[in-house]
Chain A
Amino acid sequence: MALQETQILEAYRTMRTIREFEERVTAEFEKGGIPGFVHVYDGQEAVATGACMHLTKDDYVGSTHRGHGHCIAKGCDIKGMMAEIMGRATGLCRGKGGSMHIADIDQGMLGANAIVGGAPPLAIGAALSAKTLGTKNLSLSFTGDGGSNQGTVFESMNLAVVLQLPTIFMYENNGYGEHTGAAYAVGCGDIAGRAEAFGMPALRVDGLDFFAVYEAMQEAVDRARSGGGPTAIEASAVRFNGHFIGDPQLYRGEGELDRLRRDSDCLKIFSKRVIGDKLLKKSQLNAIDREVAVLIDSAVEEGFAAPFPAESELLTDVYSNY
Protein backbone atom coordinates (compact mmCIF):
# COMPACT_ATOMS: atom_id res chain seq x y z
CA MET A 1 0.00 0.00 0.00
CA ALA A 2 1.56 3.30 -1.08
CA LEU A 3 2.10 5.86 1.64
CA GLN A 4 -0.10 8.94 1.54
CA GLU A 5 1.42 12.41 1.67
CA THR A 6 0.19 12.92 5.23
CA GLN A 7 1.90 9.70 6.31
CA ILE A 8 5.18 10.72 4.68
CA LEU A 9 4.98 14.08 6.42
CA GLU A 10 4.25 12.30 9.67
CA ALA A 11 7.24 10.01 9.19
CA TYR A 12 9.49 13.00 8.61
CA ARG A 13 8.10 14.76 11.66
CA THR A 14 8.81 11.71 13.84
CA MET A 15 12.34 11.29 12.51
CA ARG A 16 13.10 14.98 12.87
CA THR A 17 11.64 15.02 16.39
CA ILE A 18 13.86 12.12 17.44
CA ARG A 19 16.94 13.80 15.95
CA GLU A 20 16.22 17.17 17.54
CA PHE A 21 15.31 15.55 20.87
CA GLU A 22 18.54 13.54 21.02
CA GLU A 23 20.74 16.45 19.97
CA ARG A 24 19.20 18.64 22.66
CA VAL A 25 19.47 15.90 25.29
CA THR A 26 23.16 15.53 24.40
CA ALA A 27 23.74 19.28 24.61
CA GLU A 28 21.92 19.64 27.93
CA PHE A 29 23.68 16.58 29.35
CA GLU A 30 27.06 18.01 28.38
CA LYS A 31 26.12 21.27 30.11
CA GLY A 32 25.40 19.28 33.27
CA GLY A 33 21.63 19.71 33.35
CA ILE A 34 20.73 16.02 33.03
CA PRO A 35 21.75 13.44 35.63
CA GLY A 36 22.66 9.79 35.16
CA PHE A 37 23.49 7.58 32.19
CA VAL A 38 22.05 8.58 28.83
CA HIS A 39 22.22 6.59 25.57
CA VAL A 40 20.98 8.47 22.53
CA TYR A 41 19.40 7.08 19.38
CA ASP A 42 20.28 9.63 16.68
CA GLY A 43 21.33 7.96 13.44
CA GLN A 44 18.74 5.18 13.79
CA GLU A 45 15.56 7.25 13.36
CA ALA A 46 14.41 5.46 10.21
CA VAL A 47 14.13 2.13 12.03
CA ALA A 48 11.93 3.24 14.94
CA THR A 49 9.80 5.38 12.66
CA GLY A 50 9.35 2.86 9.86
CA ALA A 51 8.49 0.16 12.38
CA CYS A 52 6.15 2.02 14.73
CA MET A 53 4.13 3.70 11.97
CA HIS A 54 2.35 0.39 11.49
CA LEU A 55 1.24 0.14 15.09
CA THR A 56 -1.83 1.34 16.92
CA LYS A 57 -1.97 2.54 20.49
CA ASP A 58 -3.10 -0.96 21.50
CA ASP A 59 -0.03 -2.66 20.07
CA TYR A 60 2.90 -3.00 22.44
CA VAL A 61 6.54 -2.10 22.04
CA GLY A 62 9.42 -3.28 24.21
CA SER A 63 12.55 -1.21 23.93
CA THR A 64 16.20 -0.99 24.93
CA HIS A 65 18.51 1.22 26.99
CA ARG A 66 18.72 3.34 23.82
CA GLY A 67 14.99 3.83 23.88
CA HIS A 68 14.13 7.52 23.36
CA GLY A 69 13.54 7.07 19.63
CA HIS A 70 11.27 4.08 20.13
CA CYS A 71 9.24 5.99 22.72
CA ILE A 72 8.82 9.00 20.44
CA ALA A 73 7.87 6.85 17.46
CA LYS A 74 5.32 4.99 19.63
CA GLY A 75 3.66 8.25 20.58
CA CYS A 76 4.98 9.03 24.06
CA ASP A 77 4.56 12.65 25.10
CA ILE A 78 7.70 14.64 24.25
CA LYS A 79 7.50 17.01 27.18
CA GLY A 80 6.82 14.15 29.59
CA MET A 81 9.85 12.31 28.20
CA MET A 82 12.16 15.32 28.52
CA ALA A 83 11.00 15.96 32.08
CA GLU A 84 11.53 12.28 32.90
CA ILE A 85 15.10 12.34 31.59
CA MET A 86 15.66 15.39 33.79
CA GLY A 87 14.26 13.52 36.82
CA ARG A 88 11.30 15.84 37.33
CA ALA A 89 7.97 15.16 39.00
CA THR A 90 6.18 15.99 35.73
CA GLY A 91 8.05 13.22 33.90
CA LEU A 92 6.24 10.34 32.22
CA CYS A 93 7.27 8.10 35.14
CA ARG A 94 7.14 10.93 37.70
CA GLY A 95 10.91 11.09 37.66
CA LYS A 96 11.33 7.59 39.05
CA GLY A 97 12.40 5.82 35.88
CA GLY A 98 14.75 8.09 33.97
CA SER A 99 16.21 7.77 30.50
CA MET A 100 16.63 3.99 30.65
CA HIS A 101 13.11 3.26 31.95
CA ILE A 102 10.76 5.58 30.09
CA ALA A 103 7.48 3.73 29.78
CA ASP A 104 3.89 4.58 29.02
CA ILE A 105 1.67 1.52 29.14
CA ASP A 106 -1.34 3.58 28.01
CA GLN A 107 0.56 4.30 24.78
CA GLY A 108 1.57 0.66 24.43
CA MET A 109 5.14 1.46 25.46
CA LEU A 110 6.33 -1.34 27.75
CA GLY A 111 9.41 0.58 28.60
CA ALA A 112 12.93 1.30 27.67
CA ASN A 113 14.89 -1.43 29.43
CA ALA A 114 18.33 -1.11 30.91
CA ILE A 115 18.91 -4.85 30.83
CA VAL A 116 20.31 -5.73 27.42
CA GLY A 117 18.02 -8.34 25.87
CA GLY A 118 15.27 -7.22 28.24
CA ALA A 119 12.52 -6.45 25.76
CA PRO A 120 11.85 -9.73 23.90
CA PRO A 121 10.50 -11.77 26.86
CA LEU A 122 8.17 -8.92 27.86
CA ALA A 123 7.06 -8.27 24.29
CA ILE A 124 6.18 -11.91 23.68
CA GLY A 125 4.18 -11.67 26.91
CA ALA A 126 2.16 -8.82 25.40
CA ALA A 127 1.70 -10.98 22.31
CA LEU A 128 0.50 -13.84 24.51
CA SER A 129 -2.07 -11.47 26.04
CA ALA A 130 -3.25 -10.46 22.57
CA LYS A 131 -3.52 -14.06 21.43
CA THR A 132 -5.23 -15.33 24.58
CA LEU A 133 -7.67 -12.42 24.79
CA GLY A 134 -8.43 -12.69 21.08
CA THR A 135 -7.54 -9.12 20.11
CA LYS A 136 -5.81 -8.46 16.81
CA ASN A 137 -3.01 -6.59 18.54
CA LEU A 138 0.64 -7.45 18.21
CA SER A 139 3.92 -6.66 19.89
CA LEU A 140 7.27 -5.47 18.65
CA SER A 141 10.57 -5.77 20.48
CA PHE A 142 13.66 -3.77 19.65
CA THR A 143 17.02 -5.39 20.29
CA GLY A 144 20.49 -4.26 19.27
CA ASP A 145 23.22 -6.38 17.77
CA GLY A 146 24.67 -6.60 21.29
CA GLY A 147 21.36 -7.73 22.77
CA SER A 148 20.89 -10.26 20.00
CA ASN A 149 23.46 -12.48 21.74
CA GLN A 150 21.49 -12.73 25.00
CA GLY A 151 19.91 -16.01 26.04
CA THR A 152 16.62 -14.26 26.81
CA VAL A 153 16.41 -13.32 23.14
CA PHE A 154 16.98 -16.87 21.95
CA GLU A 155 14.44 -18.20 24.44
CA SER A 156 11.90 -15.61 23.37
CA MET A 157 12.29 -16.50 19.70
CA ASN A 158 11.78 -20.17 20.46
CA LEU A 159 8.73 -19.47 22.62
CA ALA A 160 7.24 -17.18 19.97
CA VAL A 161 7.54 -19.94 17.41
CA VAL A 162 6.29 -22.69 19.75
CA LEU A 163 3.27 -20.64 20.83
CA GLN A 164 2.80 -18.96 17.42
CA LEU A 165 2.68 -15.49 18.94
CA PRO A 166 1.81 -12.28 17.05
CA THR A 167 5.15 -10.60 17.60
CA ILE A 168 7.99 -9.03 15.65
CA PHE A 169 11.66 -9.12 16.63
CA MET A 170 13.37 -6.01 15.28
CA TYR A 171 17.15 -6.25 15.44
CA GLU A 172 18.90 -2.92 14.96
CA ASN A 173 22.43 -3.75 13.99
CA ASN A 174 24.31 -0.49 14.46
CA GLY A 175 27.67 -2.21 14.40
CA TYR A 176 28.50 -1.88 18.08
CA GLY A 177 27.41 -3.45 21.33
CA GLU A 178 28.74 -0.94 23.83
CA HIS A 179 32.42 -0.68 22.85
CA THR A 180 32.72 -3.94 20.94
CA GLY A 181 32.08 -4.51 17.27
CA ALA A 182 29.22 -6.71 16.08
CA ALA A 183 31.72 -8.22 13.64
CA TYR A 184 33.40 -9.74 16.69
CA ALA A 185 30.48 -10.41 19.03
CA VAL A 186 27.86 -11.90 16.72
CA GLY A 187 29.54 -15.25 16.17
CA CYS A 188 27.86 -16.22 12.95
CA GLY A 189 27.70 -12.64 11.73
CA ASP A 190 24.10 -13.02 10.66
CA ILE A 191 21.40 -12.06 13.14
CA ALA A 192 18.56 -12.62 10.69
CA GLY A 193 19.93 -16.02 9.77
CA ARG A 194 20.02 -17.00 13.40
CA ALA A 195 16.36 -15.94 13.79
CA GLU A 196 15.43 -17.95 10.72
CA ALA A 197 16.98 -21.02 12.29
CA PHE A 198 14.50 -20.66 15.14
CA GLY A 199 11.75 -21.32 12.64
CA MET A 200 10.41 -17.92 11.66
CA PRO A 201 10.66 -15.82 8.50
CA ALA A 202 13.49 -13.30 8.76
CA LEU A 203 14.00 -10.21 6.63
CA ARG A 204 17.12 -8.14 6.08
CA VAL A 205 16.62 -4.50 5.46
CA ASP A 206 18.60 -1.28 5.02
CA GLY A 207 17.84 0.52 8.26
CA LEU A 208 18.92 3.84 6.79
CA ASP A 209 15.98 3.69 4.42
CA PHE A 210 12.68 4.52 6.09
CA PHE A 211 10.73 3.16 3.13
CA ALA A 212 12.53 -0.18 3.23
CA VAL A 213 11.88 -0.57 6.95
CA TYR A 214 8.26 0.39 6.48
CA GLU A 215 7.82 -2.17 3.73
CA ALA A 216 9.45 -5.02 5.66
CA MET A 217 7.32 -4.22 8.67
CA GLN A 218 4.20 -4.32 6.53
CA GLU A 219 4.88 -7.96 5.75
CA ALA A 220 5.64 -8.79 9.39
CA VAL A 221 2.57 -6.94 10.68
CA ASP A 222 0.28 -8.62 8.17
CA ARG A 223 1.61 -12.01 9.24
CA ALA A 224 1.18 -11.28 12.94
CA ARG A 225 -2.34 -9.85 12.63
CA SER A 226 -3.52 -12.75 10.51
CA GLY A 227 -2.36 -15.36 13.00
CA GLY A 228 0.78 -16.30 11.06
CA GLY A 229 3.13 -16.01 14.01
CA PRO A 230 6.40 -14.16 14.53
CA THR A 231 8.80 -12.49 12.13
CA ALA A 232 12.34 -11.23 12.64
CA ILE A 233 13.82 -8.22 10.88
CA GLU A 234 17.48 -7.27 10.92
CA ALA A 235 17.92 -3.61 10.08
CA SER A 236 21.45 -2.41 9.40
CA ALA A 237 21.90 0.93 11.08
CA VAL A 238 24.48 3.37 12.31
CA ARG A 239 25.11 4.94 15.69
CA PHE A 240 26.01 8.61 15.48
CA ASN A 241 27.22 8.68 19.06
CA GLY A 242 29.05 6.57 21.57
CA HIS A 243 27.49 3.91 23.72
CA PHE A 244 26.59 6.71 26.16
CA ILE A 245 26.98 10.45 26.06
CA GLY A 246 30.60 11.11 26.96
CA ASP A 247 31.96 7.90 25.46
CA PRO A 248 35.35 8.83 23.87
CA GLN A 249 34.66 6.22 21.15
CA LEU A 250 38.24 5.03 20.85
CA TYR A 251 36.99 1.94 19.05
CA ARG A 252 36.02 3.96 15.97
CA GLY A 253 38.25 3.91 12.91
CA GLU A 254 39.79 7.13 11.69
CA GLY A 255 37.24 9.41 10.05
CA GLU A 256 34.49 6.85 10.69
CA LEU A 257 32.06 9.17 12.44
CA ASP A 258 32.48 11.94 9.85
CA ARG A 259 31.86 9.45 7.07
CA LEU A 260 28.76 8.06 8.77
CA ARG A 261 27.30 11.49 9.37
CA ARG A 262 28.05 12.50 5.78
CA ASP A 263 27.02 9.38 3.88
CA SER A 264 24.74 7.40 6.20
CA ASP A 265 22.34 9.94 7.66
CA CYS A 266 18.86 8.50 7.35
CA LEU A 267 17.27 11.94 7.53
CA LYS A 268 19.35 13.25 4.62
CA ILE A 269 18.58 10.09 2.67
CA PHE A 270 14.87 10.51 3.38
CA SER A 271 14.81 14.20 2.39
CA LYS A 272 16.69 13.57 -0.82
CA ARG A 273 14.33 10.78 -1.77
CA VAL A 274 11.05 12.53 -1.04
CA ILE A 275 12.13 15.76 -2.73
CA GLY A 276 13.70 13.93 -5.68
CA ASP A 277 10.61 11.83 -6.20
CA LYS A 278 8.44 14.91 -5.74
CA LEU A 279 6.58 13.33 -2.84
CA LEU A 280 7.13 16.41 -0.68
CA LYS A 281 8.48 19.92 -1.13
CA LYS A 282 11.50 21.29 0.67
CA SER A 283 9.30 24.00 2.16
CA GLN A 284 7.11 21.36 3.83
CA LEU A 285 10.15 19.79 5.47
CA ASN A 286 11.44 23.18 6.57
CA ALA A 287 8.11 23.99 8.17
CA ILE A 288 8.26 20.75 10.18
CA ASP A 289 11.84 21.51 11.21
CA ARG A 290 10.72 24.83 12.65
CA GLU A 291 7.77 23.33 14.51
CA VAL A 292 9.88 20.55 15.96
CA ALA A 293 12.53 23.01 17.13
CA VAL A 294 9.87 25.02 18.96
CA LEU A 295 8.46 21.86 20.57
CA ILE A 296 11.85 20.67 21.81
CA ASP A 297 12.73 24.17 23.06
CA SER A 298 9.60 24.31 25.13
CA ALA A 299 10.09 20.72 26.37
CA VAL A 300 13.54 21.68 27.66
CA GLU A 301 12.33 24.94 29.12
CA GLU A 302 9.33 23.37 30.87
CA GLY A 303 11.43 20.45 32.04
CA PHE A 304 13.96 22.68 33.77
CA ALA A 305 11.15 24.72 35.31
CA ALA A 306 9.39 21.64 36.72
CA PRO A 307 9.88 20.54 40.32
CA PHE A 308 11.81 17.46 41.39
CA PRO A 309 9.72 14.73 43.05
CA ALA A 310 8.81 15.39 46.67
CA GLU A 311 10.48 13.36 49.40
CA SER A 312 7.14 11.61 50.00
CA GLU A 313 7.45 9.99 46.55
CA LEU A 314 10.36 7.78 47.66
CA LEU A 315 8.08 5.08 49.01
CA THR A 316 5.01 5.39 46.80
CA ASP A 317 4.29 2.83 44.09
CA VAL A 318 6.64 0.12 45.31
CA TYR A 319 3.38 -1.85 45.59
CA SER A 320 -0.15 -1.26 44.33
CA ASN A 321 -1.44 -1.99 47.83
CA TYR A 322 0.41 -2.39 51.10
Chain B
Amino acid sequence: MKKITLGFLFLAFLFFTGCTQTAPIIPSDDAANSKVSPRNISDNPSITTDNGVNIKEGNVTANDIRSRMSPSGGLPNDGTFNNSSEGLQSVYFGFGDYSIVNDMYKAVDKNVQTLKNYNGKIKIEGNCDEFGTDEFNYALGLKRAKVVKDALVAKGIPAGMFSIISLGESTPVCTDATDECYAKNRRVDLKKQ
Protein backbone atom coordinates (compact mmCIF):
# COMPACT_ATOMS: atom_id res chain seq x y z
CA MET B 1 0.00 0.00 0.00
CA LYS B 2 2.81 2.34 0.86
CA LYS B 3 4.35 1.61 -2.55
CA ILE B 4 1.12 2.47 -4.31
CA THR B 5 0.90 5.72 -2.36
CA LEU B 6 4.46 6.63 -3.26
CA GLY B 7 3.70 5.76 -6.87
CA PHE B 8 0.77 8.13 -6.89
CA LEU B 9 2.86 10.85 -5.29
CA PHE B 10 5.57 10.37 -7.94
CA LEU B 11 2.97 10.59 -10.72
CA ALA B 12 1.52 13.70 -9.16
CA PHE B 13 5.02 15.24 -8.96
CA LEU B 14 5.65 14.58 -12.65
CA PHE B 15 2.22 15.87 -13.54
CA PHE B 16 2.59 19.19 -11.77
CA THR B 17 6.24 19.89 -12.50
CA GLY B 18 5.32 19.47 -16.16
CA CYS B 19 3.06 22.50 -15.84
CA THR B 20 5.87 24.86 -14.98
CA GLN B 21 7.38 24.88 -18.46
CA THR B 22 6.21 27.44 -20.95
CA ALA B 23 5.78 25.83 -24.33
CA PRO B 24 7.12 27.95 -27.18
CA ILE B 25 4.68 29.20 -29.76
CA ILE B 26 5.37 27.34 -32.97
CA PRO B 27 3.12 28.65 -35.69
CA SER B 28 2.39 26.31 -38.53
CA ASP B 29 3.80 27.72 -41.75
CA ASP B 30 2.92 25.20 -44.37
CA ALA B 31 3.72 26.65 -47.76
CA ALA B 32 1.24 24.46 -49.53
CA ASN B 33 -1.66 25.84 -47.53
CA SER B 34 -0.77 29.46 -47.44
CA LYS B 35 1.29 30.45 -50.44
CA VAL B 36 -0.02 33.01 -52.86
CA SER B 37 0.86 32.78 -56.53
CA PRO B 38 0.34 36.20 -58.06
CA ARG B 39 -0.78 35.66 -61.63
CA ASN B 40 0.12 39.11 -62.82
CA ILE B 41 3.85 38.88 -62.17
CA SER B 42 5.60 38.59 -65.49
CA ASP B 43 9.24 38.91 -64.46
CA ASN B 44 10.22 35.44 -63.35
CA PRO B 45 13.96 35.16 -63.87
CA SER B 46 15.72 31.93 -63.19
CA ILE B 47 19.35 31.01 -62.93
CA THR B 48 20.61 29.46 -66.12
CA THR B 49 23.28 26.81 -66.33
CA ASP B 50 26.74 28.01 -67.17
CA ASN B 51 28.86 25.38 -68.83
CA GLY B 52 32.00 27.45 -68.69
CA VAL B 53 33.87 24.81 -66.74
CA ASN B 54 36.29 22.61 -68.68
CA ILE B 55 34.99 19.23 -67.65
CA LYS B 56 35.05 16.05 -69.70
CA GLU B 57 31.48 15.31 -68.75
CA GLY B 58 31.05 12.53 -71.29
CA ASN B 59 33.29 10.02 -69.55
CA VAL B 60 32.68 10.95 -65.94
CA THR B 61 29.50 9.77 -64.27
CA ALA B 62 28.03 11.20 -61.11
CA ASN B 63 28.97 8.09 -59.19
CA ASP B 64 32.56 8.30 -60.46
CA ILE B 65 32.84 11.82 -59.19
CA ARG B 66 31.20 11.05 -55.89
CA SER B 67 33.48 8.08 -55.29
CA ARG B 68 36.50 10.33 -55.66
CA MET B 69 35.25 13.11 -53.41
CA SER B 70 36.77 13.44 -49.97
CA PRO B 71 34.54 12.86 -46.92
CA SER B 72 34.16 16.61 -46.62
CA GLY B 73 32.93 16.89 -50.18
CA GLY B 74 36.14 18.18 -51.77
CA LEU B 75 36.99 17.34 -55.36
CA PRO B 76 40.25 15.57 -56.37
CA ASN B 77 42.63 17.64 -58.39
CA ASP B 78 43.83 15.56 -61.29
CA GLY B 79 43.10 18.24 -63.87
CA THR B 80 39.62 16.94 -64.58
CA PHE B 81 37.93 19.94 -63.06
CA ASN B 82 38.99 23.47 -63.84
CA ASN B 83 37.52 26.94 -64.29
CA SER B 84 40.70 29.02 -64.23
CA SER B 85 42.58 30.73 -67.07
CA GLU B 86 44.76 28.64 -69.37
CA GLY B 87 47.75 27.13 -67.59
CA LEU B 88 46.22 27.72 -64.16
CA GLN B 89 44.28 25.32 -61.99
CA SER B 90 41.20 25.91 -59.83
CA VAL B 91 41.44 24.84 -56.19
CA TYR B 92 38.44 22.99 -54.71
CA PHE B 93 37.25 22.96 -51.10
CA GLY B 94 35.20 20.84 -48.74
CA PHE B 95 31.75 21.78 -47.48
CA GLY B 96 31.89 24.95 -45.37
CA ASP B 97 35.69 24.76 -45.31
CA TYR B 98 38.42 27.19 -46.30
CA SER B 99 41.54 25.14 -45.70
CA ILE B 100 43.52 23.65 -48.59
CA VAL B 101 43.45 19.86 -48.36
CA ASN B 102 46.60 17.88 -49.18
CA ASP B 103 45.77 16.79 -52.70
CA MET B 104 44.88 20.37 -53.63
CA TYR B 105 48.51 21.42 -53.11
CA LYS B 106 49.19 19.76 -56.47
CA ALA B 107 47.03 22.49 -57.99
CA VAL B 108 48.84 25.14 -55.97
CA ASP B 109 52.23 23.81 -57.18
CA LYS B 110 51.05 23.78 -60.79
CA ASN B 111 49.93 27.40 -60.44
CA VAL B 112 53.30 28.33 -58.92
CA GLN B 113 55.11 26.87 -61.95
CA THR B 114 52.88 28.80 -64.36
CA LEU B 115 53.05 32.08 -62.47
CA LYS B 116 56.84 32.04 -62.20
CA ASN B 117 56.86 32.83 -65.90
CA TYR B 118 53.95 35.26 -65.88
CA ASN B 119 54.32 39.02 -65.54
CA GLY B 120 50.67 40.14 -65.59
CA LYS B 121 48.06 40.47 -62.87
CA ILE B 122 45.95 37.64 -61.48
CA LYS B 123 42.52 37.97 -59.94
CA ILE B 124 41.78 35.25 -57.38
CA GLU B 125 38.04 34.62 -57.16
CA GLY B 126 36.54 32.77 -54.19
CA ASN B 127 33.29 30.88 -54.80
CA CYS B 128 30.81 28.89 -52.71
CA ASP B 129 27.98 26.44 -53.18
CA GLU B 130 24.44 27.61 -52.53
CA PHE B 131 24.31 26.27 -48.96
CA GLY B 132 24.98 29.36 -46.95
CA THR B 133 23.33 32.63 -46.36
CA ASP B 134 23.89 36.18 -46.82
CA GLU B 135 27.21 37.66 -45.77
CA PHE B 136 28.68 34.51 -44.30
CA ASN B 137 28.84 32.80 -47.70
CA TYR B 138 30.64 35.78 -49.22
CA ALA B 139 33.09 35.79 -46.32
CA LEU B 140 33.67 32.07 -46.85
CA GLY B 141 34.48 32.70 -50.52
CA LEU B 142 36.84 35.45 -49.46
CA LYS B 143 38.68 33.21 -46.99
CA ARG B 144 39.12 30.61 -49.73
CA ALA B 145 40.59 33.20 -52.09
CA LYS B 146 42.86 34.52 -49.33
CA VAL B 147 44.20 31.09 -48.38
CA VAL B 148 45.09 30.33 -52.01
CA LYS B 149 46.82 33.70 -52.35
CA ASP B 150 48.77 33.09 -49.14
CA ALA B 151 49.84 29.63 -50.36
CA LEU B 152 51.11 31.06 -53.64
CA VAL B 153 52.94 33.90 -51.90
CA ALA B 154 54.49 31.42 -49.44
CA LYS B 155 55.94 29.58 -52.45
CA GLY B 156 57.62 32.70 -53.76
CA ILE B 157 55.10 34.39 -56.03
CA PRO B 158 55.02 38.17 -55.40
CA ALA B 159 51.92 39.29 -53.45
CA GLY B 160 51.60 42.34 -55.69
CA MET B 161 50.59 40.11 -58.60
CA PHE B 162 47.27 39.27 -56.97
CA SER B 163 43.94 40.86 -56.22
CA ILE B 164 41.27 38.86 -54.44
CA ILE B 165 37.49 39.00 -54.57
CA SER B 166 34.64 36.92 -53.20
CA LEU B 167 31.82 36.03 -55.56
CA GLY B 168 29.96 34.05 -52.90
CA GLU B 169 27.38 31.74 -54.44
CA SER B 170 26.72 34.18 -57.31
CA THR B 171 28.77 32.48 -59.99
CA PRO B 172 28.04 28.76 -60.09
CA VAL B 173 29.54 26.71 -62.90
CA CYS B 174 26.87 24.11 -62.34
CA THR B 175 23.29 24.51 -61.11
CA ASP B 176 22.11 20.91 -60.91
CA ALA B 177 20.96 19.76 -57.49
CA THR B 178 23.65 17.08 -57.16
CA ASP B 179 26.53 16.55 -54.76
CA GLU B 180 29.15 16.68 -57.51
CA CYS B 181 27.64 19.88 -58.85
CA TYR B 182 27.84 21.57 -55.46
CA ALA B 183 31.47 20.41 -55.17
CA LYS B 184 32.35 22.09 -58.48
CA ASN B 185 31.06 25.40 -57.11
CA ARG B 186 33.18 25.32 -53.92
CA ARG B 187 36.29 26.60 -55.66
CA VAL B 188 38.86 29.31 -56.15
CA ASP B 189 39.53 30.35 -59.74
CA LEU B 190 42.64 32.17 -60.91
CA LYS B 191 41.97 34.56 -63.78
CA LYS B 192 44.63 36.30 -65.84
CA GLN B 193 43.88 40.03 -66.20
A and B together in one complex: no
